Structure 1
Amino acid sequence: MDCVICLDEVDSDHGSYCCSRCRFIVHVECATKVNWYSVIESVEKYDDDSTSLSEESRDSYIVIGRNEEGKVTKIRHFCHERDLISSDMIPEEYKFCDGCTSLISDSFYCCSECNFFLHKKCVAFPRKQHFWLHECERPVILVAGNIFKCSYCRRICNGFAYDCPRCGINSCLQCATPYTLTFEGHEHPLFFLYMYERSCTGCGEEISEERNPSHWFYCCGICDTSAHLYCVVRMGEYPFIKPGKIYKEGEHPHPLRFVKKMYYYPECFECGVPCQDLALQCMEPGCEFIVHWECACPSDLRE
């Protein structure tokens, strides 16, 4: 296996640090090169119920139906009230995953009665797991239905999050599995790196060891391409907010829905400027309330 810090192969005969629960492995030199570790003098506190992961606690869905070949055709996911049906047919219209909020471009599960979609890879995320970059020893819990700012990439997201009840971190699914990333604009996989000195192909900014910790980046091991996470997934100002999802906060008496206005631009009830791109629109029949997300965004998500 390759070291997740430098991407060079790890020879176990020369020592390494690895995780017993996943494929995370680093050279001893890479692990101690930066102050991102702590010394554990006793492992007894890691054996209690709060840090253990039973098989029952890991699965986020149950299988409801299979076909004659044994392939799963229907599941029930913890975050949705109805059963989800398996499909390999890519929708003709743009559809976005309710888990990672990215475009549906491969096999997925969907609800037959509403606009709920999940990549099959997002369905597989466990309900509870030990997060690879989580300094707290407690497992993180998969939650849905909230809007949050990722503690790592600092992007606002309304998809799934891994939440730690103890230390309060929130991680989007992109940051929960950042080792490799496939991107339709590049033919090779991009690898996540901790330490690297190069210019971002997307924005031209110098990438160095002293960079802002929110500016994680990816590098292609085949060609000379490096990019910040933000530049790789750039899809407007809020790439991780799925249109159509319900916004449950704010002072408006009716439920609001995220929308992206592409042609008709009604005026914002808050500032009076036409609502282009991301906005919140009232779902109540007869109510014409609409407001820019910029005008409605809570202060704690702006920080």
Structure 2
Amino acid sequence: MRERNGDSTFQPQSPPDPSRRELKAAVKCSGCELSISSTPFYGCTEKCFFFIHKSCAEMPRELDEVHIFHPIPTHHLTLLPRPPLNLPTFKCYACKKTRRGFTYHCPTCEVSLCVNCILLVPFDDYDDYRQILLPTHEHPFILCTKDKKFDISCIGCDHPIEEESLYLCPLCLLFYHESCADPPLQINHPFHSQHPLTLLYHPPPPDFEVFSFRCKACGLHGCGRSYNCTKCNFDIHVRCSQLVPTVKADLHKHPLCFLQSLL
């Protein structure tokens, strides 16, 4: 990103009027590739259709500190405004997504990280990570926070991670919701009061199958972990097990449970 007389060459835009809301929602940031939405942004005055979040435009040219996805003190990640090697796209080392926007790149290791993954950082200092050890994995999971939308799914429940915090294994690039990382091995749940439910890991299904189980709470399929009753062939997502008990209402013949969203 060029500068002129010490100032950014990006020109701030005035807030759009209501008639332009749909257009603005469709406009993507050239840095992180997320919607411009209602956040402050810059735009090119020459009608190049170049827009960038103010926060993306102000990102550092080089990371001075070691990043969790590239913990080599002698290697610095440098911000590139386009994919390296003059390619049209690059594959982010962390989220494995194909990107077209800005990248933090290490030329020595040929590692490229998208802006969204760069903004995923541990809660605590580098030497004092908040971490947990899980019996099913050989490496610790580190509690992290994120500032951008993180386009990745939890390996525990197979749902997108939308919360600000998550657990990460930086060596294996595995991600958990904070609530899914270390659930109890057995629970009693009002959705299935007949028997205790046991935490069960569903291995990846064969190529000809898409899912391993269907959650009896939300009705969606899954292929990660579930709470299971083998006697009744009952499965429920780990996250769905945290739903409040059902209520009986006159407006419907079946019990109802409260949902914030369809997960």
Q: TM-score range by the shorter chain?
A: 0.3 to 0.5
Answer with 1 or 2: which has the greater Rg.
2
